[in-house]
Amino acid sequence: MARPGISDEDFIHNFETHGAAQTAVVAGVNIRQVYLRRRGIERRLGITITAPNRRAQPQEYPQRTTYQLDVKNGSVIIGSDAHYWPNDISTAHLAFCKLSDELKPKAVIANGDVVDAASLSRFDPIGWETQPEFADELEAAQARLMEIEEAAPKAKKIWNLGNHDSRFEGAIAKRLPELKRVKGVHLKDHFPKWITAWACFINNDVVVKHRFKGGIHATHNNTMWAGRTMVTGHLHSQKVTPFTDYNGTRWGVDSGTMAEPRGPQFTNYTELNPLNWRSGFCILTFKDGRLLTPELVSVHEKGKVEFRGEIIDVEE
């Protein structure tokens, strides 16, 4: 084999710093020749030449952490569990856009399970049920979130990861972990205007995250354990539970589901059982940095919601 045009010292430096592929480019040879030369140098000098540990290097996609939001005066609109589905726009979504346009919130928060990812579920299909391809779900979610972006152009846009959202990256990471640095395999690649996090902290006394405690007393237990107002989704129950101690009053909030409880996402999953679910979302209002009592926007009937003692037509 013709000797490559770099010294042993330069070869070792390039291999241990950049790996075999880049060393092949520098040396003007193919990768097979690089590995042959590495073995030759190792035998001759009695050393071991190792490629760089990519896992130890900073990643393009850091771990999701938290997002700090400071609001002195204004509102934050929080919607959870949209489970956006192709060719299906819920009343709650229409209301979310309408009130985002009218209230001019400081932030809008998609509090998890924006996508359903039914085809990526770890659970077996129920018979021969039909499920949309994830590409179609992704397009639907992009269209709906774009509508929110247009309704609240100046608002911060925050997306807290939900368990259904994680199915997309989880499926790829499990089967093809080597793709982790490839653009497109991360959900946020497809939603560049949204900040992704596990939780959003508002001022010093409110935390918004997809889920914490479970069961019918979840809202009570969430705020008791958190020591601050906590807004969650996941359970679809939509309710506000006050909790008062020596520190004052705080709230546990389940913002409900932005989907229709009897929507196509849930038909087979729930087996048409009675559901203690409610469709809608939550609005937090701050005055001089202090949170007022959280408000719910609840679907009254198709095309109409209840809010502040009024029935609002969202299809006008």
Average pLDDT over residues 109-137: 83
Residue 53, pLDDT score: 65
Residue 107, Cα to own-chain centre: how many angstroms? Answer: 16
State the alpha helices, DSSP H only, in the chain: 8-18, 20-27, 31-45, 91-103, 134-151, 166-175, 218-226, 267-270
Note whether 128 and 98 are within 8 A (CB): no
- Averaged pLDDT for residues 124-132: 75
pLDDT band at 32 (very low <50, low <70, confident <90, very high): confident
> pLDDT of 49-87, one tens digit each?
888 765 444 445 556 689 999 999 999 999 999 999 999
82, two tokens: 């949209």
CA distances from 250 to 9, 155, 220 (A): 65, 25, 10
Strands 107-110 and 74-79, by their bridges, are parallel
Q: Render pLDDT for 301-312 as a digit per residue (tens, 0 to 9).
A: 999 999 999 999
> What fold, for 66-313?
Purple Acid Phosphatase; chain A, domain 2 (3.60.21)
Provide the pLDDT for residue 105: 98
Residue 56: the pLDDT is 43
pLDDT score at 239: 97
What was the pLDDT predicted at 64?
A: 66
Q: What's the start-to-end Cα distance of the chain, in Å?
A: 77
Query: Whose structure tokens read 């089967």?
Result: 175
So what's the pLDDT on residue 202? 97
Contact 159, 209 (CB under 8 A): no
Assign 8 a pLDDT band (cuts: 50, 70, 90): confident
Report phi then psi at 70, rounded to 5. Answer: -110, 125
Exposure string of 93-111, with b = 16+ CB inside 10 Å and e = fewer, is: bbbbbbbbeebebbbbbbb
Radius of gyration of the chain (CA): 25
Write down the pLDDT at residue 289. Answer: 95
Residue with tokens 């009937």: 301
Mind giving me the DSSP string for 205-239? TEEEES----STTHHHHHHHHHSSEEEE-SS---E
As a whole number of angstroms, the distance between CA 271 and CA 276 comes to 14
| Angle made by CA atoms 200, 218, 210, in degrees to the nearest 5 | 30
> Which neighbouring-strand residues pair with 100?
none
pLDDT at 58: 45
Best mean pLDDT range from 29-33, 84-88, 174-178, 297-301:
297-301
Q: Which residue has the higher pLDDT, 99 or 126?
A: 99
Q: What is the dihedral of CA 212, 214, 218, 224, to 10 degrees?
A: -50
Give pLDDT, residue 1.
Answer: 39
Read off the pLDDT band of 210 (50, 70, 90): very high
172, 196, 164: which is closest to 62 by C-alpha? 196
Does the pLDDT of residue 212 top 90, yes or no? Answer: yes
Answer yes or no: is pLDDT of 315 > 80: yes
More confident residue, 256 or 17: 256
Report the run of H or E that residue 242 belongs to, with start and end. Answer: strand 239-245
User: Average model confidence (pLDDT) for the chain?
Assistant: 90
Q: What is the mean pLDDT of residues 233-249?
A: 96
Question: Which pLDDT does position 62 carry in this prediction?
Answer: 53
Least confident of 201-210, 217-226, 232-241, 260-269: 260-269
pLDDT level of residue 267 (50, 70, 90 thresholds): confident
Residue-level pLDDT at 96 = 98
Domain chopping of the chain, boundaries: 8-56, 66-313
DSSP letter assigned to residue 271 = T
